[in-house]
Amino acid sequence: MKLSVIGCGYLGAVHAAAMASIGHEVVGIDVDARKIEVLSKGEAPFFEPGLPEILSEGIASGRLTFTTDMAAASGAKVHFIGVGTPQQKDGYAADLTYVNAAVDGLLPYLSPGDIVAGKSTVPVGTAAELAVRVEATGATLVWNPEFLREGFAVQDTIDPDRLVVGVSGDGADGAAEVLREVYAPAVAKGTPFIVTDLATAELVKVAANAFLATKISFINAMAEIAEVTGADVTQLADAIGHDVRIGRRFLGAGIGFGGGCLPKDIRAFSARAEELGRGESVAFLREVDEINLRRRDRAVQLVVDGLGGSAFNKKIAVLGAAFKPHSDDIRDSPALDVAVRLHGLGARVTVTDPAAIDNARRVHPQLTYEASRDETIRDADAVILVTEWDEYRRDLTPEHASSLTGGRLVVDGRNGLDAAAWRAAGWRYHGMGRP
């Protein structure tokens, strides 16, 4: 099928390449000329495992092209909208400028029978408003929220755990059938394909992210209680996680969630609920947000306390900058936030990360960056693990760290290290919510 993908960021570039990889003819469109130039060469403009391979295959096959020219969308049967919906600068609501601009820019190139499939995460009610404009052209609007996880985005796009398509108005059944065809390989495997109305589809996405954020903040709240009682939150998580109704995943206490989705999505959800007169229904999300942010304070405090009450002029090795491993995304990264705060306390902070240094340097040029993990640790007074890359969590032994520095303070912001092993090697180990 001929498809267009408007917006070629973390979501859109992967979507375009993944759709080409399953046999569609895809044009990716973005206003960012630099990104389009890189993508057109078959290169990934950001770190995402497996993306360079499907990009270069798609380009070589002739089925995948990229352009800044919206006119190229003309002739496609389905037009995916994957532009950003960041938090507004002066409030919690989502900034819909880009979604509106993308849809309005696309309208002149739509033909009757085309389908516009929104993938961006939007406040409930957005799709119904956009539908009026889209349907005036004879095209149909559906909402097809995206659940991909950065780091697993290619796999999640080609083989998602569910597909959700919100439809409305005339021709709605036909539109869902076309989406079923687009995702034929996943549908053939029996992937749940859930057809809803527009509002439900929009809400499924924000509800899923609200739930995940709540689960993380729940265990982090337990970490706070563990810290004043001497309990160990990792054992607590293991024990409650055996209950299949609870489950162990997303119960990792640490410095909390970040990234381009969870923080802004729960805030936009709160803002939208308030607009709808139902602010109290999701008032707990404010608490979820606050618990999350408090954990960054805690990590900083553990370093400062461990250094005897002041981080001034101390060399601190910060392991990680990305908001999570397998990504170079530093949007709202707790790891970088901790690094910036320690820098603000007068520490000599060196940050390392296998993928995110360039992005981090652009946003926080005041920090020192070092590609080598070992050079980062060398002669550090304290080491803090803030992004659980295997290079730090699994591969770094306390014996090796001891060979690099005489500093013997390690703060494990992700509870990813073997506390007993680090202590046995003479380190003062501090985890999150652990004695």
Residue 186: Cβ-neighbour burial (10 angstroms; 0-12, 13-18, 19+): buried
261 catalytic per annotation: yes
Interaction of residue 157 with ligand NAD, rule CB under 6 A? no
Which residue sits closest to ligand NAD, CB atoms considered? 9
Give yes or no for a contact between 284 and 101, defined as CB atoms under 8 angstroms apart: no
Residue from the set 25, 150, 227, 353 that interacts with ligand NAD by CB under 6 A: 150
In whole angstroms, give the CA distance from residue 308 to residue 302.
10
CB of 145 to ligand NAD, least distance (A): 7
Interaction of residue 216 with ligand NAD, rule CB under 6 A? no
DSSP 8-state symbol, 367: S
**Of 109-138, which residues contact ligand NAD (CB under 6 A)?**
120-121
Interaction of residue 204 with ligand NAD, rule CB under 6 A? no
Secondary structure of residue 163 in the 3-state scheme:
strand
- Residues constituting the chain: 435
Residue 177, CA atoms < 13 Å, CB-side half-sphere: 5
Residue from the set 33, 101, 225, 363 that interacts with ligand NAD by CB under 6 A: 101
Interaction of residue 156 with ligand NAD, rule CB under 6 A? no
CB of 292 to ligand NAD, least distance (A): 17
Residue from the set 19, 54, 131, 148 that interacts with ligand NAD by CB under 6 A: 148
Buried b (16+ CB within 10 A) or exposed e, 77-106: bbbbbbbbbebbeeebbbbbebbeebbebb
CB of 95 to ligand NAD, least distance (A): 10
Residue from the set 3, 4, 5, 7 that interacts with ligand NAD by CB under 6 A: 7
CB of 56 to ligand NAD, least distance (A): 19
Of 111, 118, 132, 114, give the one whose Cα is nearest residue 81. Answer: 118
The count of residues interacting with ligand NAD (CB under 6 A) is: 27
CB of 271 to ligand NAD, least distance (A): 14
Q: Name the phi and psi angles at 7, rounded to 5.
A: 100, 110
Catalytic-labelled residue, pool 233, 261, 311, 321: 261
**Of 273-332, which residues contact ligand NAD (CB under 6 A)?**
none
Q: Give residue for tokens 């999350």.
A: 292
Q: Name the phi and psi angles at 86, rounded to 5.
A: -70, 170
- The tokens describing 14, both together, are 């992967």
Note the residues at the interface with ligand NAD (CB under 6 A): 6-12, 29-32, 35, 82-85, 98, 101-102, 105, 120-121, 146, 148, 150, 260-261
Catalytic residues: 261
